[in-house]
Amino acid sequence: MRIGIFLIAARFPGQEPGRVLADAVELVVAAEQAGFDDAWIAEHHFMSYGVCPSPTTLAAVAIGRTTRINLGTAVSVLSTQHPVALAEQAAMLHHLSGGRFTLGVGRGGPWVDLEVFGTGLARFERGFPESLDLLLAALSGEPFSAGGDFFTFRETALVPAARMRPVVACTSDSTAALAADRGLPMLLGMHIGDAEKAAAVGAYASRRRAAGPGHVAAAIAHVADTTAQAVRELKQAMPAWLEPGLAGYVPVDDRPRAPKDIHAYVDFLTRIHPVGSPGHCVRTLVRTSRATGIRHFILMVEGIGDHKRTLENIRRLGAEVLPLLHTRNAP
């Protein structure tokens, strides 16, 4: 298996955002030392759920602090930025890292970000396919132009040029179909279980009439001496982050937002993901891999809300879980 960490740059009560970002870089360094394959960074705006508005910037800092680990964005939001500008950033990171950077992109949501950045609701509702295709053209290494509904310009070429294929976050059937049609790997979220992930992988394979090109799945991971202890720690810590954090998703229009039972959500997450003893974490990831065919996981390690404990979580996962997952006969 390929195992990475997934950083939301989660801000818990009382934490200063700048410190959270600095700590996130330290977590990447710790993940490299612990033997993780990659580190992926999320993008959020105007909210405490995640305080990193530019995952490419944070990835650039982390690239300069590491030598082996791969960096990725999970994800850069296409609906609020120009695809060519994002392609330029990705190409720079590709060259500066020696090929250690992977661009993950997503549609985003109908949030106030669309208003603030001036892209509008239409870019979210109708513009994602055009944005994705323009991004792919810009990262093809060849000259490209645009003549669509949202982007129109004469032929140009990216400098520096780079040949890259992004990963696409898929939270809807339409986006998954788009990824399949373009032959791009899916990134599946931690809010769905094995059955939903398996269905998405199966639908992708049916649409392409071939297996997927290395899909990625996100999961929450927290290790303790016993499974009961690990679950108890996250159930005590995560609501204080999620309650105000998820409230930060403000719609750009008057559409209502469905309320979420935070405690039920945390209970769900701790049941389906590798939260527990080292053995339990190994068995859970192996179970998900066998059920879905996915062999690349990125683990959200910040759920405890304490930097020192998160560093310990990374080190224990590296020492007690990764070696078993990297063996052929994992239990």
Average pLDDT for residues 125-142, to the nearest whole number? Answer: 98
- Per-residue burial over 57-89, b if 16 or more Cβ lie within 10 Å, else e, is ebbbebbeebeebbbbbbbbbbbbbbbbebbbb
**Does 330 fall in a domain?**
no
Distance CA 324, CA 39 (A): 20
Looking at every residue in the chain, the average pLDDT score rounds to 96
Q: What's the number of domains the chain is made of?
A: 1
**Does 331 fall in a domain?**
no
Backbone region of residue 182 per phi and psi (left: phi > 0; alpha: psi in -120 to 50; beta: other values)? alpha
**Residues 268 and 308 sit within 8 Å (Cβ to Cβ):** no
**Does 8 fall in a domain?**
yes
The CATH number of the domain holding residue 112 is: 3.20.20.30
**Does 105 fall in a domain?**
yes
The domain in which residue 173 lies consists of 2-325
| Amino acid identity, position 68 | R
Backbone region of residue 141 per phi and psi (left: phi > 0; alpha: psi in -120 to 50; beta: other values)? left
Distance CA 113, CA 86 (A): 17
Helix, strand, coil % over all residues of the chain, rounded to 5? 45, 15, 35
**Does 204 fall in a domain?**
yes
**Does 319 fall in a domain?**
yes
pLDDT bracket for residue 210 (50, 70, 90): confident
pLDDT bracket for residue 258 (50, 70, 90): confident
Distance CA 275, CA 316 (A): 12
**Does 34 fall in a domain?**
yes
Q: What DSSP line would sit under 294-311, residue for residue? A: --EEEEE--TT--HHHHH
pLDDT in tens, 56-91: 999 999 999 999 999 999 999 999 999 999 999 999
Both tokens of 272, joined, read 């389906």
User: Interhelix angle for 17-34 vs 307-316, to 10°?
Assistant: 20
Pairing of strands 186-188, 144-147: unpaired
**pTM for the full predicted model:** 0.97
Tell me: pLDDT of 329 over 70.
no
**Does 111 fall in a domain?**
yes
